[in-house]
Structure 1
Amino acid sequence: MSIVEDSDAGEGHHLPAEEDWPRGFGEASWWPFITAIGAAGIYAGAALWLLGSGEDPLIGPTAGPAAIVASVFLFLVGLYGWLYHAFVVDFWHRGVDAGGGSGLRLGMLLFLGSEIATFGAGFVYYFFIRAGAWPPDHLPHLLGSLVVVNTAILIASSVTLHVAHLALRRGNRRRFLQWLGVTLALGVVFIAGQAYEYYQFIVVDGFSLSTGTFGSAFYGLTGLHGAHVSLGAILLGIVFVRGLAGQYSEHRHTSVSTVSMYWHFVDAVWVFLVAVLYVGAAA
């Protein structure tokens, strides 16, 4: 009997089998490699963007943006394949047992540890340039009403997600879906607010990624965080759809727990980022 028949016969899904893997990889999934290549390409695209900007660019101005768009697409494709084969196929209908749930939570904690290191590298770069001549030549008014409102929205989304999770653990699925929907809406509003802030800074104030070292630090950190919030919103959307399908209960909510951990993490990073980058830069 084949692997397909053993795993999810009759459901139209299958676990990663040998026909899914390229030759020479043995029993390993190739999706993490695609995801890693896409992620690396984003950094390479950012470097090309910088090389193509300024008064005397070394390359064409479209090379960097084109590389970033292609890399983001490749990253999302790899991430989808990775998550689908690793989690969705096996856990969509039957969930996980207690041991599997603990393992997934531990995996999320380890992942968040790597994320702390990623953001930490960006903050170290900012602290390094902050120790030099300050303020920079072109420093717009950062701490405006928009960032205050956006921060309040993101903090509120953490509260609503916590309320939703508590409602699910108490067996109230309707309340869970209501508050989860509010959380998802707040996340989308935050992303839209950050996009509008970028428009104000870049188009109106002329403050862009190529505006000195502070510009690269500001957009590097806020852009990295915005990408994480966007990913978190996608994960919340998946959880919401699964909730509508009735796949969660007070005894089965591992995905809700792991996504909540991720969302609370990006909220905490944003509060630290505002304190350091917005308030600290203007001090």
Structure 2
Amino acid sequence: MSVADDSTDDHGHHLPAVEDWPKGFGEASWWPFITAIGAAGFYIGAALYVLGRGDNALVGPMVGPAVFVASAFGFLTGLYGWVYHAFVKAYWSDDGHGSSALRWGMILFLGTEIATFGAGFTYYFFIRAGSQWVDAASAVPDGFLGALVVANTAILVVSSFTLHFAHVALRKGNRSRFLGLLVATLVLGVVFIAGQVYEYYEFIVHEGFSLSGGLFESAFFGLTGLHGLHVTLGAVLIGILTVRALKGQYTAERHTSVSTVSMYWHFVDAVWIFLVVVLYAGAVV
């Protein structure tokens, strides 16, 4: 992600990764590489966790969790640098510079996310088509598609509307409405995350429904956990938008990061609806 001007003298901001690196590639940033390595580490950590279980474990039981935690640190660090370089630096250096490129970058990123979730859903459809599905489906706990799932779905859908109309209000120059709806979106996102954590608690502690239970459990926690990670990341991004909005950094002409974060949030909303239809409703039908 490039910016027009690497100077920081006028505003005193710390600007990570604005140097020309690798040499000869222009205004290149190495933060996306750190972010990608951290994201890959999630999968490596999960694989090592599986390999560390059982009587014939190939690695120690704590190797997988340690790799996962280290990867999370690397992912969040890379994401911070990337977002700062792409949006905060771009705000001070140029009015709207590269906005089209950033939006297309988000579209390409969402394309990779579709592939990631697609792999998870392919696994789920594979086990559903297998002969072991009858036994796997018997593990579905009581109240699987209950009031909590319905409420969480409604919350996430409403949050997409509040973020959309916040963006509309900003483009119309209504700053107070923009701020109010943006804060409402953030609150709804946090409530959704809390609802999913509570659902996990109920399933694991009271129902004995856990990741190590079997085929369906691994598919359920894999897909919903991956989605929960994306919602958490989205809530962090919306939090950053809120802080910047309170500082008056967005106007009707300057709103690229609001646009790209909105695209991301609508994506996780759509994935959740698909999850509810395929995973929750599909398991009890």
Contact 1:50–1:210 (Cα < 8 Å) also in 2 = no
**Structure 1 62/6 Cα, relative in aligned 2: closer, same or farther at 3 Å?**
closer
Q: What corresponds to 1:10 in structure 2?
A: 10
TM-score (norm 2): 0.89
What does residue range 90-169 of structure 1 map to in structure 2 within 5 Å? Answer: 90-92=90-92, 94-97=94-97, 100-132=98-130, 133-135=132-134, 136=136, 137-141=138-142, 142-169=144-171
User: C-alpha distance in 2, partners of 1:92/1:194?
Assistant: 38
Does structure 1 conserve the Cα–Cα contact (< 8 Å) formed by 2:87 and 2:257?
no
Match for residue 41 of structure 2? Answer: 41
Which range is displaced more, 129-138 or 50-59?
Answer: 50-59
Q: Confirm or deny: 8 A CA contact 2:6 2:18 kept in the other structure.
A: no
Give the aligned residue type for 1:74: G
Q: Distance in 2 between matches of 1:26 and 1:208?
A: 50
Given the alignment of the two structures, is residue 70 of structure 1 paired with residue 77 of structure 2, yes or no?
no
- Counterpart in the other structure of 1:272: 274
Deviations 1:124-161 (A, max 9, x none): 11100011132315222321211111111101101111
Root mean square deviation, CA, Å: 2.2
* Amino-acid identity (%): 67
SS in structure 2 at match of 1:89? helix
Alignment-derived partner of residue 231 in structure 2: 229
Please give the alpha-carbon distance, in whole angstroms, between the structure 2 residues aligned to 1:268 and 1:43.
23
- TM-score w.r.t. the length of structure 1 is 0.90
User: Does the 8 Å contact 2:6/2:93 carry over to 1?
Assistant: no
CA distance in 1 between partners of 2:30 and 2:168 (Å): 37
Query: Does the C-alpha gap of structure 1 residues 60 and 219 become closer, same or farther in structure 2, counting only changes over 3 Å?
Result: same
1:64 match: secondary structure: helix
Q: CA, structure 1 residues 194+92, in 2 after alignment: closer, same or farther (shift >3 Å)? A: farther
| C-alpha deviation, 1:17, in angstroms | 1.6
- Map Cα deviations across residues 53-109 of structure 1 (whole Å, 9 max, x no partner): 356644333222222111111111111112222332122464314xx2222222211
Residue 52 of structure 1, CA deviation: 2.7
2:195 aligned with 1:197 = no
Distance verdict in 2 for CA 1:253–1:87, change over 3 Å: closer
| Aligned-partner SS, 2:197 | helix
State the aligned residue count: 275
Unaligned runs of 5+ in 2: none
Q: 1:200-256 CA deviation, whole Å, 9 max, x = no partner?
A: 112221221121122221111111111110111011011111111111122221211
Alpha-carbon separation, structure 2, partners of 1:43 and 1:159: 32
Q: Residue 18 of structure 2: SS of its match in structure 1?
A: coil
AA partner of residue 32 (structure 1): P
Contact kept in structure 2, 1:93 and 1:247, CA below 8 Å: no
Structure 1: stretches of 5+ with no match in the other structure? none
**What amino acid sits opposite 2:133 in the alignment?**
W
Question: Please, which moves more after superposition, 191-200 or 55-64?
Answer: 55-64
Alignment map for 1:182-221 (pairs within 5 Å): 182-221=184-223
> Is the 1:34–1:78 contact (alpha carbons within 8 Å) kept by the matching residues of 2?
yes
| CA displacement, residues 145-204 of structure 1 (integer Å, 9 cap, x when unaligned) | 111111111011011111211111111100110011000000000011111111111222
Note if 1:60 corresponds to 2:60: yes
